[in-house]
A and B are shown apart, each in its own frame.
Chain A
Amino acid sequence: MNLFDFCYGIIHWLVDLINNIWYWLGDFLPWWFGDFFTAVGDFAASHGHIAVMAILLEVIIIIAIALINVLNFIWLDRKFMGRMFDFYGPYYVGYKIGGWLQNLADGIKLFVKEIITPAKADKVGFLLGPVIYVGSSFLALATIPLGRQFYVGTNTDLASTGVGASALIAFAFFAIAPFSILIAGWSSNNKYTLIGGMRSAAQMMSYEIPMLLTVASVFLLAGSFGFMDIVAAQHDIWFGIPLFIGLVTFIVCLAAEVEIQPFDLPEAEAELVEGWTTEYCGMRFGLFMMTGYLRGYIGGALATALFLGGWHGPAFLPDPIWFLIKAYTVFVLIEWARWSLPRVRVDQILDIGWKRLLPLAILNLMIAVAVKSMGWF
């Protein structure tokens, strides 16, 4: 049973319901017309059609859950920032639910604004940047399992669902974003965006490697590339406990990967105006901002699945709730650092990446090897 099965059941039930009426209508018509009705009804009830529809429904469910989480994240971020900075945060729009509707109001405002493409910008690249950025982030979403039975599949058979390498796929999609930032920054034909894009590339070079090394230690302990197996292997003890160094390294790398405050060099607002998003306005900027938080959500989910035991927790709450609680905690930790630390410089970020995090990641990998060879996992 996975999300696919769930959707398959719903679509199957819907098709049966409609087909009852459809076949009943066909009975009233001449035989040649009735045959056509029967053929359409049979096609609708076929496995292939229902599977495609089920996948579409799956996509809608996953994106809806992600977007609701993003709205929560933005709200949580603003409220948390407000508490730290001695003000209330969003308050008036949606007064009774703590200002939660403020995000929707901001979204509507951005949605009705004009989208301007600079006259001297490269039109194709300028459009392609946001498309790749948003698209790759949403793709990474598809690999994350929220519970034992809450994961994306394309088949009812677990062995062939493609979840065997889902962690690898997630990191592959997650690492595409810096390229789109480079494209967006370069094609905007603006000096600030260009510097922002180049910084993004430099940052990716120095943070991908320690991040993937810590992830490799998790793969080693779990003996699998799939999130399902990794989380299942953490049933007794979370990987974050033997690999505590790895957990810390991973969260620091995550902050750099998601590009938030101490490491938000590509959009350092004090020196580069708004960095690589300077020339984007209206809903394109809104998408960038939303995707930034979405990447925060994905990052928190990755840390949860890899180090914090995924959905494992006391049984009085369902799996996805435990998973989301842990993901939110990681996100709040990152936000805490975000609002209380100054921004580091571009050469210092490379120093931190290569001289501090890489040795830590290698040490962590050695610990993982030792733990595994002792036969404790």
Chain B
Amino acid sequence: MWINMGPQHPMTHGLWNLRVKVDGETIVDAQPEVGYLHRGIEKICEGRTYTQIIPITDRLCYGSSLTWSHLYCLTAEDLMGVEVPERAEYIRVAAIEMQRIASHLMWLAAYATDLGLMLGFLHAMRDREVFIDLLQALSGSRLTYNYPRIGGVAHDIPPNFERDSLRACAYIENRLREYEDLYEGSRVFMMRNVGVGLLKKEDAINLGVTGPPLRACGVNYDLRKEMPYSVYPEIDFQPAVHPAGDCYARYRVRMDEMYESCKIIRQAIQKMPKGKWRVVAPRNAPVGTGMGRVEDPRGEGMMYIVGDGTDKPYRMKVRSPIFVTVSAAPRMLIGYKVADVVAIMGGLDMCIGETDR
């Protein structure tokens, strides 16, 4: 029996369809279908100037919009050959790590409701507010920040930002320990997660899975270490890795990543030099190409821009992590029960905005 889980279904965070073939309650086949939310962002970008594209790239993902505008700015700087002031790089690193924590907390909230743990949802969403408030102080908006610029960031950090960030880090570390008690202390949660949705290391690599699902298979691959961008080489942190490859490992990797992000924010705040936070970028890009890769909260995000000498890109390509990762869904789903669909697909942290673009 084929069951359409989607496009309108509580399991799908966003608009996509997972067709599942079941034998009783056991899944024997699965077909993910994406494309319900295609907005043509790549084409829209071809009609806009380089500065005007930044707010569009914010719309790529509602969970972590800052990462994508940062990625776009990295790519455009690569194309134009702009040197970014060091202060701006540290501000960017602090901001995108805050965005990573906010994104992971949103994932934690959604994952809790997926498993039926209603308590986790509102508590995780409440703690996400702390980081949303920080980013709002930084940029002025709560969801789509429009903060990075080609050649720096839009504003300097506001007064007391350092103090508030350090307080937020201390707060969230305490709260994360509480979440670990609430989640891992619950036997039902462990029953639902350990050994569910196993993905083999080779399959993960062959299918192009990146980000937390890949690191949960025991592959130590983090773009912040492998191909360092911005000022990550000067910051001391360890990518979170877990060897098991199941839903629990994916949960664990994301939780550990939040601790690591706190460390990174602290170091970025402490090492932040005085100086300029923005340089003026040229209006027209040279003829040529630019490419950028970042470690998005969901995996590897990549952008590729072809400039033709005008103030608008000739072509822009976005490589979205979830668009690739979702192709591993059948490998993870087959053999498990219908109820595991929510745990497995929830563990991937689907974001349809960037998947369909």
Contact = CB atoms under 8 A, between A and B. Distances in A.
A, B co-complexed: yes
Grouping DSSP codes into helix (H, G, I), strand (E, B) and loop, the B interface class, with mixed when no group exceeds half, is helix
Given A85-B122, A86-B122, A86-B123, A342 B9 contact: no
A123 interface: no
Contacts of A195: 22, 25, 338
B119 A271 contact: no
Interface residues of A, number: 29
- Could you say which of B1, B25, B115, B118 has the most chain A C-beta atoms within 10 Å of its C-beta? B118
Interface string A167-209: 0000000000000000000000001100100010000000000
A87 interface: yes
A84 B118 CA distance: 10
A346 to B, nearest CB: 6
Contact of B339 (A261, A271, A339): A271
Contacts of A261: 116, 118
Contacts of A273: 9-10
Contacts of A265: 339
A344 B117 contact: no
Contacts of A346: 25, 337-339
A348 interface: yes
A341 B117 CA distance: 5
A347 interface: yes
B114 interface: yes
A345 B339 contact: yes
Nearest to A338: B118
Contacts of A264: 116
B329 interface: no
Interface string B19-30: 000100100000
Nearest to A264: B116
B186 interface: yes
Nearest to B26: A347
Q: Which of A199, A261, A341, A346 has the most CB of B within 10 A?
A: A341
A343 B11 CA distance: 14
A84 B25 contact: no
B300 interface: no
Interface of B: 1, 3, 5, 9-11, 22, 25, 112-119, 121-123, 126, 182, 186, 188-189, 191-192, 337-342
Given A191-B1, A345-B340, 20 more contacts: A85-B118, A85-B119, A86-B123, A86-B126, A261-B118, A262-B116, A268-B116, A268-B339, A271-B5, A271-B339, A271-B342, A273-B10, A340-B119, A342-B186, A342-B188, A343-B116, A345-B337, A346-B338, A347-B25, A348-B192
20 contacts: A85-B121, A191-B1, A195-B22, A195-B338, A261-B116, A261-B118, A269-B116, A270-B113, A270-B115, A270-B116, A271-B10, A340-B117, A341-B186, A342-B116, A342-B186, A342-B189, A343-B188, A343-B192, A344-B192, A346-B337
